[in-house]
């Protein structure tokens, strides 16, 4: 299903005020409120209407975006993803670690050399990522139910 949002940062967006007030506690201070509310509404399948705007070329000044801003934005997006769908982060990490452990360890075991320390580390890391994902899923459920 195509999203009705063309650009997260521009355009005039309309939301139901009562729903916005319900989700304000989920918004981090480090990211634009309208961006977070838009992502929350899309995730929760609430209606978001957008009226496109025309953006003109910058007339003067310089951009304030730098590497730190980009890092903070990525961290805020990961935080939002972790809040609403933690397994989207933890499951791929878990599967990658488990697969690496198996790919590394199986040939060594088949040669009769026992279990590799590196393979065990990767396998244990995969199990830990999965367990952390389950815990994050429970915490996210509790936090969302409080809204």
Chunk the chain into consecutive blocks of 10 residues (it has 147) and report each block's average pLDDT, rounded to whole numbers: 62 79 76 76 80 78 82 81 87 97 94 92 97 93 77
Name the token pair of 62: 């310089």
CA distance between the termini of the chain: 26
CB 90 within 8 A of CB 136: yes
Alpha-carbon separation of residue 40 from 18, 20, 22, 43, 117 (angstroms): 14, 9, 11, 5, 42
pTM (2 d.p.): 0.68
CB 86 within 8 A of CB 134: no
């Amino acid at each position: 299903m195509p999203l009705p949002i063309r650009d997260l940062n521009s355009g005039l967006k309309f939301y139901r005020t009562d729903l916005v007030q319900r989700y304000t506690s989920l918004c981090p201070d480090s990211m634009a409120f309208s961006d977070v509310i838009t992502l929350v509404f899309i995730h929760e399948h609430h209606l978001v209407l957008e009226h496109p705007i025309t953006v003109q070329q910058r007339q003067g000044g310089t951009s304030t975006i730098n590497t730190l801003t980009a890092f903070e934005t990525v961290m805020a997006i990961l935080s939002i993803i972790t809040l609403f769908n933690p397994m989207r982060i933890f499951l791929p990490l878990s599967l990658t670690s488990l697969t690496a452990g198996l790919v590394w360890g199986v040939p060594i075991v088949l040669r009769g050399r026992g279990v590799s320390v590196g393979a065990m580390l990767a396998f244990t890391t995969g199990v830990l990522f999965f367990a952390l994902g389950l815990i994050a899923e429970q915490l996210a459920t509790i936090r969302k139910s409080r809204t």
